[in-house]
Amino acid sequence: MNKKIKFALLFTMIFAFFGVKLNAQLQSGSLVDGIAVVVGNEIILESDIEDQANYAKQQGAQVSDKCEFVESIINNKLLIYEAKRDTLIENRSEAIKETANQKYNQILGQFPDEKTMLSTYKFRTSYEMKNAIEKIDTDNYYGQMKYGRITDKADVTPNEVTDFFNTYKSQLPEVKDEVTLSQIIMYPKLTDAHKDEIIAKLNKIKQDILAGESFENQARIYSEDPGSAANGGLYKNISKGKMVKPFEAAALNLQEGEISDPVESEFGYHLIQLVKKSGKNYDARHILLKAEPNDAEIATAKKELDSIRTLILNGRLTFKEAAYRFSDDKKTKFNAGILTSEDGSDRIEKLNLAPTVSYQIAGLNKNDITDVFQDTIQQDKKVVSIVKVDDIIASHQLDITTDYDRIKQMALNKKKNEMVEKWVKEKLPDVFISINNRYKDCAFKTDWRKSEAK
């Protein structure tokens, strides 16, 4: 494949790496580590290159040319360096630090104890791991923001899409078997008795706190929020609009140190304590009890959704109308229930479907609708669903007549990365870059070494 196309893929891959890679941080003093490249005041270690190459291979990418791969990393690090100097890019250090702490606590919630987690991820201390998460998130944020600033005006005309296709059609990948699907998701409703039971438990916890128990300790014991329970329920530096409306409204109506009555949100029921209010931001602790439906409540929801399915099958209601009127999934209810893939396309590779959905549509034909089934979505929320098979697309070579939107996106990505390449060459004379001599034989497309003498 043409190098410019591969370059576009590498940018995407490296951003993905920064978003998910946690366990490849080497301990300080590792003999295999060392400085590979310096870009301004940003350092690329040998371990960074090896870790990213391994991750890329795990994702199915070819990394046969290490020099080319290293160059893509240098490009990315230059974006990060310049983004930190760009006054139009907001400094989000505090928010990133807080998010890193939340991610740390979420990961901790998946392990029996902190020692096991640190051992699994090969960190010696919680401080080391939190710093690694913060660095990854910081690089991810600045790299993406600068990339976006450089390419925000990029666009392609229909003629450019056609030219791109004609030039690269023999190199375009084959699309695997795909489907387009629509869904209706319903959240089982809790009975009043069940709600009263949860509220009573929270009221008892509140009374214990007022009687002398620590809110922080009670959150560690009872809260079902994986993002804050291990931290005593604490969220720091919360900006207005970040939390769901019922939570925020209750928190901002409290005095510092005051505790709310139970507050209902889409996540369950909360006790909230306002810790500190400073300008537009605030710190708050909470104890969350999830509104988890029981078997009887799930059965009631299944029955209700099955009656809606019958109306659709009898032609009294279209799937689109039913999704708009009855679906509880905010992402799809206003879009006829249509599911989309990560790239925004309504075509989804069968291999990428959630296992439950894949099982339910097995053997169905176009326009068939599944029976009602129980599923689990984000944050282990129990739901009931039906899925309609809108289309089935057999594997095929990408073609402009059937895959125009995808080919347009590929052409746009190519143009964006050409813009970045041009920006890099223009910026290069003003940035100190030093590359270890072990890469002296690399035939880089950009002459990075001309700035080493600065």
Residue 93 confidence (pLDDT): 86
The yes-or-no verdict on residue 28 having pLDDT over 60 is no
Assigned architecture for domain 174-189+294-396:
Roll (3.10)
Do the beta carbons of residue 67 and residue 444 sit within 8 Å? yes
> What CA–CA distance (Å, rounded) separates 310 from 385?
14
Q: Is 403 helix (H, G, I), strand (E, B) or coil?
A: coil
The yes-or-no verdict on residue 1 having pLDDT over 70 is no
Residue 11 confidence (pLDDT): 44
The yes-or-no verdict on residue 60 having pLDDT over 90 is no
Residue 245 confidence (pLDDT): 92
Residue 154 confidence (pLDDT): 96
**144 to 14, 103, 135, 150, 287: CA distances (angstroms):** 10, 20, 14, 10, 34
Name the DSSP letter for residue 189: P
Residue 15 confidence (pLDDT): 43
- The terminus-to-terminus CA distance of the chain in angstroms comes to 36
Residue 379 confidence (pLDDT): 67
The yes-or-no verdict on residue 64 having pLDDT over 90 is no
With cut-offs at 50, 70 and 90, classify the pLDDT of residue 198: very high
Do the beta carbons of residue 63 and residue 73 sit within 8 Å? no
> What CA–CA distance (Å, rounded) separates 176 from 11?
23
What residue segments make up the domains of the chain, in order of their start?
A: 3-170+401-451, 174-189+294-396, 192-289
**348 to 58, 320, 324, 405: CA distances (angstroms):** 21, 19, 22, 14
Q: Is 162 helix (H, G, I), strand (E, B) or coil?
A: helix
With cut-offs at 50, 70 and 90, classify the pLDDT of residue 450: low
| 18-37 mean pLDDT | 50
Class of domain 192-289: alpha beta
> What CA–CA distance (Å, rounded) separates 360 from 370?
6
Residue 59 confidence (pLDDT): 56
Name the DSSP letter for residue 338: B
Tens digits of residue pLDDT in 239-257: 888 899 999 999 999 999 9
Residue 110 confidence (pLDDT): 78
The yes-or-no verdict on residue 55 having pLDDT over 60 is no
Q: Which CATH number fits domain 3-170+401-451: 3.30.70, 1.10.287, 1.20.140, 1.10.4030?
A: 1.10.4030
Tens digits of residue pLDDT in 343-389: 778 999 999 899 999 999 999 999 999 999 999 987 678 999 999 99
Whether the full predicted model's pTM is greater than 0.85, yes or no, is no
**80 to 136, 216, 342: CA distances (angstroms):** 11, 37, 24
Q: Is the model more confident about 100 or about 407?
A: 407
Tell the residue number behind the tokens 């270890």, with chain if given: 436
With cut-offs at 50, 70 and 90, classify the pLDDT of residue 10: very low
